[in-house]
A and B are shown apart, each in its own frame.
Chain A
Amino acid sequence: MIEFNDFQKITPYEWEIDQNFRDDMRVPVRIFASQDLLQAAMGDNSVEQAINVTTLPGVVGSVVVMPDMHQGYGFPIGGVAATSLVDGVISPGGIGYDINCGVRLLATRIPFEVAEPHLKNLAISLYQHCPSGVGVSSSNKLSRKELTEVCELGSQWALKKGYATEMSIRRTEDSGRLSGADPEKMSERALERGLSQLGTLGSGNHFIEVGIVDQIFSEEIAGVFGLEKNMLTVMIHSGSRGLGHQVCTDYVRIFQKSGRKFGIQIPDRELVCAPLSSEEGQNYLAAMRAAANYAFCNRQMLAFQAQRAFKQVFAGITKDFSLFQVYDVAHNIGKIETHVIGNQKMGVCVHRKGATRAFGPGSKDLPEEYAKSGQPVLVPGSMGTSSWVLAGSNMSMEKSFGSCCHGAGRVMSRSKAKRQIRGDELLRSLEKEGIYIKAGSLPGLAEEAPQAYKDVDEVIEVVVEAGLAQKVARLRPLAVVKG
């Protein structure tokens, strides 16, 4: 049982659990949180899950946890762990079943006053153009050859087909394509599930949110990102759909068997892993990258379909109804990166499970236009509350393997949310606040009520005060499409 006294206060926003807290820990746990958020997080098993992650072979530095942390399965949500490429492991559960679940932000030059009378129609049109909900499939089924190309090329497949622009590719993490992807390392089942789901949103916490730039905190960086006060934005939250779920399911199962071969002891079977240098580890890495590429392309297709919805609603009303990309980030992913650990540069596999990359100014992995500002860090709120655009900092490279928070973070279980909140009442109360909702399921909407999440503004204060990122702009929701 972890007590509050077990934490060492490093700063008001950083807390540490010493490596000696439990015999099997290999590194400390470093949590970014205010005292209130930390004490709230102790209400579930997220801290214990973070401690479990420190037992992974080859884990280096600290296991880092973001202020939007909450209990997951194996890894806590909001957890970041780096493992050495030499003697470390890769854990599929540390990346998650929704491989490369992530967020894309699009900006517009449509002022709020022009859009306001059409927001309801916009929500309906987005709902019609972007298939969403449980078990939804796309009207355009891919051929097997096309699917293989999508998994190899990611968003760049969409560019080839005319569904993307050079700018949208450039402004996607890793240009929307992870190299080293190998669709042949995915099972037949994973491929089968990918054939009919490209360009679909899915259900659960996935959404498309139309917002407005409500407040600017850095005029200079907002200008670089293409964000202007009072202009409409579109945020898309989705991932690799059934294909990604199947890849993770397959490899967790394979690793259960191979774990015995490698003699790896873990405190929770969902942390099952394989050495990065092993054939099993390399096979998973190649399959995970292929699924990540599918997810990048999925969000690209959703953006293309969202553009069609904007055209349907705003053509003839305003001249410029184009959507242009600010950035696209992954928050469930495993990346091979170089970080400084103990004054030494080291190649590591960074597991980000509900954490966003937040590379700072000067990073060679950013597009030229973001070289001085750092990358956009996209942090969605909770349907009725603000979303945030931050800029990554170099401090994040020192403190958190170049990572930041990914959202508000749940605080209430789905079943409790459904018991306490009625979907139809929530819908009406959000409409009263001027937020139009188009949802496939009212009980599903209730599960995702703003009350089920932490205060995103409090989460943002922590990452900013800890120096992981800086505030650029706040977005206010106007219309939300939920699966």
Chain B
Amino acid sequence: MDNNSGFRELSHTADAALKIWAPSLQKLFSTALIGMYQLMGLSSNCEEQGESQLIELEEIDSESLLIAFLSECLYYVESKGMVLKPTSITILDNHLTSICEVNPLISLEKEIKAVTFHNLAIENVNQKWEVTVVFDL
């Protein structure tokens, strides 16, 4: 993350919500992923460079693409015990291509059941991209 991108947790009665901002759509996606991992209290083994994994997703709009991307990374953690860290993200016409480094999961503090579409809207004002994502805990 740099000075122009980041996230903060918003109050939510039962689940968790993150407000995320970044100077580009690609950066918004990678920042959202960092936020999700932080919410999960995740740590991974990065001592050795992991294998590369290509992620390709096609959805109907940017919001769906963001949820699909985060859900894909969540699936790898929950089901395979692996952590995806994108080294590149390309988004074009609702199609995402990402090359990710894959590292083994070491520990996890919190389970996220799902990434939701609740009131989801990506906004772009003066090249500042923002979105709020609600996670089901």
Contacts and interface: CB of A to CB of B under 8 A. Distances in A.
B56 interface: no
A242 B13 contact: no
Nearest to A71: B13
Contact of A193 (B60, B79, B108, B119): B79
Contacts of B136: 73, 96-98, 245
Interface stretch (A173-181, A333-341, A344-352, A408-416): A408-416
Interface string A397-440: 00000000000001111111000000000000000000000000
A97 B114 contact: yes
A73 B116 contact: yes
Interface stretch (A266-274, A285-293, A366-374): A266-274
B67 A253 contact: yes
Interface in B83-137: 108-111, 113-120, 134, 136-137
A260 interface: yes
A379 to B, nearest CB: 17
Interface in A51-84: 70-74, 77
A322 interface: no
A151 to B, nearest CB: 17
B109 A134 contact: yes
Contact of A414 (B16, B120, B134): B16
B117 A252 contact: yes
Contact of B16 (A46, A257, A272, A415): A415
B111 A253 contact: no
B49 interface: no
A135 B113 contact: no
Contact of B60 (A248, A249, A260): A260
Contacts of A414: 14, 16, 137
Interface residues of A, number: 44
Interface string B10-24: 011111100000000
A256 B60 contact: yes
A249 B114 contact: yes
B63 A269 contact: yes
Given A71-B12, A416-B11, A202 B118 contact: no
A386 interface: no
A376 to B, nearest CB: 25
User: Could you say which of B14, B71, B108, B111 has the most chain A C-beta atoms within 10 Å of its C-beta?
Assistant: B14
Interface in A246-269: 246, 248-249, 252-253, 256-257, 260, 268-269
Contacts of B137: 204, 414
A320 interface: no
Contacts of A70: 13-14
B13 A410 contact: yes
Contact of A268 (B13, B111, B118): B118
Given A98-B113, A245-B114, 19 more contacts: A73-B134, A74-B117, A134-B108, A134-B110, A134-B111, A135-B108, A245-B136, A253-B59, A253-B68, A253-B71, A256-B59, A256-B60, A257-B59, A257-B60, A269-B119, A411-B13, A413-B12, A413-B13, A444-B110
